[in-house]
Structures are given as structure tokens and as C-alpha cells.
């Protein structure tokens, strides 16, 4: 400091002063830096700036520490705290005997962090091959996100092991749950399938998604720098596993039915086929099979033709299978008796300028023979004895024009026009199955009135718990209901209770408990029609090939031209058979449909009846039903069959 003062003095021409110790003397009061006065605004500005800075710092601290502290707490916690999802196990789907139809198993899923990926072109090519995708697609996927991409989810263990053997840096494995379907194609249309996120897309998987899915849980943990959990923090929310759904379906009966209809479709070079098996005592669906089918565990390349549950979603004109229903009405109203003679000569009948015909002239037939030989003319004459409203009411009472109440997605209502719009010729053609439409399932349920002494019983795809269900008619069906659209005829309480331990329930032993429904015809009428259905499977009937070893059977064939455009195709047919067994004490109703047989044979008695025979034998044996006939060496399938009128 003295050197500065001395230099200053020298610049001003003043002599250098010496102190007592020989050092220069500095006079600070005469410093030019202090010679001028500081402006007052500068002092105020500096003080204000300093105060403002402190205010900003205090405000920022208050914002971080008091007002907006949660964000920073969350950011801090994210560095060391993690939320681990506790995945719920999807519920199993079981058949009536506890056999697995669908379950969840662990499966590896492969993922990658592209920015960390360290692989040569050859390794990437090999990785793409193992993942069953083109190398270009793999590259595109890796370029889509630098932080995370799925490579392939829920792969086979063998694939995951092969990928791990490549030791590609940046590729990792995660264990997920994959749905497994042991029965494969045979039960696909009942069970359905889930998507990659384990959400139901078809069948029971879709219908009972909420019960099957359960609820995921979670827990919070503190992780070390390597990502390993070291301490749990906060409350743990446990996962709630999905409920098991126990179906009424018997896996063995389902497989039998699928095999038989598949073989028939192949044999007759048909487009498709379906089988429905109902327990006429308990109201349970024992089988519901369709061809073509699909493997529910493989969701790739599925088509609408494969996915369609034809027994429930496809409707068609039921043809001659309507004749027993019309005949039962004629018997119930005392217009005819089983032995009443109806003249069908000369095999034709003209009504309002339109002619209906039999396959050939039969002459005089009893009412029993009208069903046995499937006479259009005889059925038409019985229909003309009735009012349109009467026919409409019994059609509605057996479930036609009404959506089946089985809680299954895709079930359709069919078509039944209000009776007030019927012309006379339309009333006649409806009596033998033209001018209305129904699904195969609706036809099968309609025939339960003949198997249960006149009652239409409620159907279910869920196993009943052994107690007869309560059935309460809501109200009488009226013509206005048809005009307003389909409504449930009856309200049924199902025996299935969500949350009940259906898995642990053993199969009931002994006689099944009868489920009661709504009475449609009297027991006497039902017995009389059963006898007619039995005659149709005997010599002189349209379906001798429906006979089953050891069991008495009865049923009705149906054959119809397919609708094509505004008319009917001349060479495309549907063939079906709906029947009951055993006739002496009915236990099951079986309905078979074959679509477009094209191998030279197309009548229901030739195409569908043999499938009915095989399914009846295997199903009744499976149910432990004692044969009611002496077992013959072979079915008398070579008996002459009546040519069906259609």
C-alpha cells in the first residue's frame, strides 16, 4: 500500500516522505478515490439488489421446501424406491369333472435396451432367426425406442434358452403368464382365448373376464445401486387371484363330438359342421363343437370362419325339424290324434297359387306316419287347421326368435316375424321350416319339450351345484313383444355363485336332479311325439342311420336348400338331425348340422344322423346311462330309409 502512495506522490511532484523507520508515509485522507462523493441512488440500488436477491432465494426455498416439495420428494424416492407389481394369477377354466380347459403357466418374455445393445451383425441375424422375424423387422423395432422395446413376449422356454446362449448385451428376460389350453381345437369355441395382455377375447374367457382376471397387487421397496430390493417400505397390497370357472361341459363328450363332426365334414366334403349336446335332465350343455376350429393358444392368422361359434351364431331355416313342433300343437289342441288319417294324395298341395310337394306320393297317412315319413303335405294340412297366432305362440314358447339365455357372447335370436304379417302360404311353409330361422342351439333347446314331458328347461354352460334351479315366469309372451323386439321369456336363477369353491366340488353321483322349466305341452303330448320321433329312426322312417347300439333313440331329419341372393341355391344344402336318447327315459338331446355336403349325399338322414348315432352312444356311456335295448351286433343302418321331403 505504501508503494502505491509513494507512486502517487511522485506523480504529483511531491517529495517522498519517510517515516520514522525509513518507510514512506501515506496520507489516506488525500486519496483521489475518496475525493468524490458516492451518488445516493447507487447505494440504494445496491441495497435493493441485495435485498431482492435474498427475497428470490427465500421464495425459491419456500417453493421447494413447502409449496412444491412433493415433486422433489418423488424425484428423490425414484432414485432408490421402486413399485413392484404383484401380478394376479388368472383363474382356471375347468370342465364339469375338474379337468383343465384353460390355465396360466409361466412363460419367458424377451426385451431389450437398444442403447445398451452390443451385438455384431451376425449375432443380430441369429437373434432375429430365433425370434422368428426378419432381420429388417428386428432392426426397425430396436430403432423405435432407445430405452425399452419388447422383442417377443411369452415365447417357449427353448427359444428363451437359445437367446440367452447368444449372450447379447442389452437383451433381457422377464417371466410372464401365458394361457394354456389342453383341449386345443376341440373346446376352442367354448373356452375362447385371451390376448397378449391376458384379457379375454372370445368365449368363456371373454364372458367371465372380470371373475377370471382377479386384481393385481403391489408393494414398495428400496433398491440398492444394482437394483436389488433391500427393504420394504409402506403397505403391501396383495394380489387377488382370479376365480376358477367350472363349466357344465364334459371334456370327453366335447372331444367325441368334435371328432365325429370333423370326420363327417371331411367325409362329405362339407364347408362346416356343428354339434350340440344337452343334458335334458339338468339343463346343462355337455358339448358344443364346431368345424372349422382353431388352436386357442396360437392367435396368429386366425380367420372369421375359424372363430365363429356356428352352433350359436349361424342361423338357418330349420326345415323339417319344425314338423314335430307343429304336430305337438295339433295334438295339444285336440285337432288330431296320433292315429288321425290325413290324405296327402297326390303328393302335392296348391295354396294361393303356390305348390308344395312331397318327395313322392304317400296317399293316406296317420299323424304318426306324417312325422315318420316327413310329409310336407300332411304337415301343411295340420297347419291350416290352426290360427297363425297359435303357431307363433308355440314357436316363441320353445325359444325361437328369442336369444338363448346362457350368458355366452355371440348367441343370436334368429328370425320369427309377427304373426299378423303372415300370409296363408307363409303359415304353411313355416310349418315345415321355411320363412323363419334359428340356430342349432335353439333347435336343440326346443326339443327339450319332448324329452322333459313338455317343459322347456333353462340351459347353462356352468355346472349346476346339484340343486334344482328356481324358475319364475316373468309374464305371458304377447304379440306386442315381438313387435318391440326380443325379450327374455323367463328369468332363471343360475346355480353358479361367483366366489364359490367350484373346483373342490366332486362330480355328483347317482341320478341327476331334474331342473324344471316352463310347461309348453302336456306330458301326454310329449310322449306321443317321442313315439313319432322313434318311428322316424326305424324302417320306413327318414333316419335309420340314427340308431345307436343299446339305446332307443328318436329324432327328426332336416334338409334344406341354402338361401343364395334373393332365392334358394339349386345345389347347396344344409343337412341336420335333432334327436333324443334314450326314448324310454330321455337323458340327452343332440343336434347335428352339416353345411354344404358336396360328396354326392346331402340328406340329413345320410349325413347328420350317423354323427348323432355315434355321439349318443359315447355320451350315454360316459354318463353311465344303462342301455335300454338289447345290444345287437351292429346298427341296422342298412334298413331302407324314406326319402325326405324338403
Residue from 201, 179, 415 nearest 297 by CA: 179
- Give the pLDDT band (50/70/90) at residue 565: confident
Cell 325326405 sits on residue:
644
Cell 351345484 sits on residue:
465
Q: Which of 109, 274, 320, 552 is catalytic?
A: 320
Spatial separation of the C-alpha atoms in residues 541 and 370, rounded to whole Å: 10
218 three-state secondary structure: strand
pLDDT at 9: 63
- Give the pLDDT band (50/70/90) at residue 118: confident
Q: What is the pTM of this model?
A: 0.78
pLDDT in tens, 171-226: 888 888 889 999 999 999 999 999 888 899 999 999 999 999 988 887 777 766 55
Q: With contact defined as beta carbons under 8 Å apart, do 459 and 406 qualify? A: yes
- Whether 491 shows a pLDDT value over 60: the answer reads no
- Whether 148 shows a pLDDT value over 90: the answer reads no
Sign of CA dihedral 487, 492, 494, 499: positive
Across 115-124, average pLDDT: 83
DSSP-assigned beta bridge partners for residue 220: 83, 233
pLDDT in tens, 566-581: 778 878 889 999 999 9
End-to-end CA separation in angstroms for the chain: 129
More confident site: 75 or 95: 95
54 three-state secondary structure: helix
pLDDT in tens, 506-523: 334 467 888 888 999 999
CA-CA-CA-CA torsion for 285, 257, 532, 630, nearest 10 degrees? -110
pLDDT, mean over the chain: 83
388: Cβ–Cβ under 8 A, 6 or more apart, which residues?
A: 419, 420, 422, 427
- The answer, yes or no, to whether the previous bond of 346 is cis (omega within 30 of 0) is yes
Residue from 369, 379, 393 nearest 335 by CA: 379
Spatial separation of the C-alpha atoms in residues 527 and 451, rounded to whole Å: 8
- Give the pLDDT band (50/70/90) at residue 68: confident
Spatial separation of the C-alpha atoms in residues 395 and 525, rounded to whole Å: 16
Spatial separation of the C-alpha atoms in residues 110 and 117, rounded to whole Å: 13
pLDDT in tens, 321-334: 999 999 999 999 99
14 three-state secondary structure: coil
- Whether 96 shows a pLDDT value over 90: the answer reads yes
Spatial separation of the C-alpha atoms in residues 376 and 358, rounded to whole Å: 6
320 annotated active-site? yes
- The answer, yes or no, to whether the previous bond of 292 is cis (omega within 30 of 0) is yes
Amino acid at each position: 500500500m505504501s508503494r502505491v502512495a509513494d507512486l502517487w506522490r511522485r506523480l504529483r511532484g511531491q517529495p517522498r516522505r519517510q517515516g520514522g523507520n525509513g518507510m514512506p508515509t501515506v496520507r489516506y485522507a488525500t486519496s483521489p478515490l475518496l475525493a468524490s462523493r458516492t451518488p445516493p441512488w447507487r447505494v440504494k440500488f445496491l441495497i435493493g439488489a441485495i435485498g431482492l436477491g435474498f427475497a428470490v432465494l427465500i421464495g425459491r426455498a419456500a417453493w421447494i421446501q413447502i409449496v412444491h416439495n412433493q415433486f422433489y420428494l418423488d424425484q428423490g424416492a425414484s432414485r432408490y424406491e421402486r413399485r413392484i407389481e404383484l401380478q394376479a394369477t388368472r383363474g382356471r377354466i375347468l370342465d364339469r369333472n375338474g379337468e383343465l380347459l384353460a390355465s396360466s403357466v409361466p412363460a419367458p418374455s424377451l426385451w431389450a435396451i437398444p442403447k445398451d445393445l452390443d451385438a455384431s451383425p451376425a449375432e443380430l441375424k441369429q437373434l432375429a432367426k430365433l425370434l422368428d422375424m426378419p432381420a429388417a423387422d428386428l432392426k426397425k423395432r430396436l430403432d423405435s425406442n432407445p430405452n425399452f422395446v419388447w422383442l417377443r413376449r411369452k415365447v417357449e422356454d427353448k427359444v428363451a434358452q437359445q437367446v440367452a446362449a447368444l449372450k447379447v448385451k442389452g437383451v433381457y428376460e422377464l417371466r410372464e403368464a401365458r394361457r394354456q389350453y389342453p383341449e386345443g381345437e376341440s373346446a376352442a369355441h367354448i373356452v375362447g382365448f385371451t390376448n397378449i395382455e391376458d384379457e379375454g377375447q372370445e368365449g368363456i374367457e371373454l364372458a367371465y373376464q372380470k371373475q377370471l382376471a382377479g386384481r393385481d397387487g403391489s408393494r414398495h421397496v428400496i433398491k440398492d445401486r444394482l437394483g436389488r430390493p433391500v427393504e420394504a417400505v409402506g403397505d403391501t397390497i396383495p394380489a387377488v387371484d382370479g376365480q376358477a370357472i367350472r363349466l357344465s361341459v364334459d371334456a370327453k363328450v366335447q372331444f367325441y363330438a368334435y371328432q365325429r363332426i370333423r370326420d363327417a365334414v371331411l367325409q362329405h366334403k362339407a364347408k362346416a359342421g356343428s354339434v350340440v349336446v344337452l343334458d335334458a335332465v339338468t339343463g346343462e350343455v355337455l358339448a358344443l363343437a364346431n368345424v372349422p376350429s382353431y388352436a386357442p393358444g396360437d392367435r396368429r392368422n386366425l380367420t372369421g370362419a375359424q372363430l365363429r361359434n356356428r352352433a350359436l351364431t349361424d342361423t338357418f331355416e330349420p326345415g323339417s325339424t319344425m314338423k314335430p313342433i307343429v304336430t305337438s300343437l295339433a295334438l295339444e289342441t285336440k285337432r288330431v290324434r296320433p292315429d288321425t288319417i290325413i290324405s296327402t294324395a297326390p303328393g302335392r298341395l296348391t295354396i294361393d297359387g303356390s305348390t308344395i310337394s312331397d318327395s313322392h306320393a304317400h296317399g293316406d297317412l296317420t299323424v304318426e306316419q306324417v312325422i315318420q315319413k316327413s310329409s310336407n303335405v300332411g304337415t301343411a294340412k295340420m297347419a291350416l287347421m290352426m290360427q297363425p297366432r297359435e303357431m307363433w305362440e308355440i314357436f316363441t314358447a320353445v325359444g325361437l326368435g328369442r336369444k338363448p339365455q346362457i350368458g355366452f357372447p355371440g348367441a343370436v335370436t334368429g328370425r320369427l316375424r309377427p304373426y299378423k304379417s303372415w300370409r296363408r302360404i307363409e303359415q304353411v311353409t313355416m310349418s315345415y321350416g321355411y320363412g323363419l330361422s334359428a340356430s342349432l342351439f335353439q333347435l336343440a333347446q326346443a326339443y327339450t319339450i319332448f324329452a322333459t314331458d313338455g317343459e322347456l328347461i333353462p340351459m347353462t354352460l356352468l355346472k349346476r351345484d346339484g340343486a334344482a334351479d328356481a324358475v319364475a315366469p316373468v309374464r305371458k309372451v304377447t304379440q306386442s313383444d315381438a313387435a318391440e323386439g326380443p325379450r327374455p321369456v323367463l328369468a332363471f336363477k343360475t346355480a353358479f355363485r361367483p366366489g364359490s369353491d367350484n373346483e373342490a366340488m366332486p362330480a355328483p353321483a347317482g341320478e341327476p336332479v331334474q331342473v324344471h322349466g316352463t310347461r309348453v305341452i302336456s306330458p301326454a303330448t310329449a310322449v306321443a311325439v317321442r313315439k313319432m320321433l322313434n318311428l322316424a329312426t326305424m324302417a320306413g322312417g327318414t333316419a335309420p342311420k340314427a340308431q345307436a347300439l343299446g339305446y332307443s333313440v328318436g329324432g327328426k331329419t332336416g334338409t334344406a336348400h341354402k338361401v343364395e341372393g334373393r332365392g334358394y341355391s339349386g345345389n347347396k344344402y344344409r343337412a341336420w338331425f335333432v334327436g333324443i336318447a334314450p326314448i324310454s327315459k330321455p337323458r340327452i338331446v343332440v343336434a347335428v348340422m352339416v353345411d354344404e355336403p358336396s360328396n354326392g349325399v346331402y340328406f340329413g338322414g345320410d349325413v347328420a344322423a350317423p354323427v348323432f348315432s355315434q355321439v349318443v352312444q359315447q355320451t350315454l356311456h360316459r354318463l353311465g346311462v344303462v342301455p335300454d335295448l338289447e345290444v345287437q351286433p351292429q346298427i341296422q343302418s342298412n334298413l331302407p330309409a324314406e326319402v325326405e321331403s324338403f
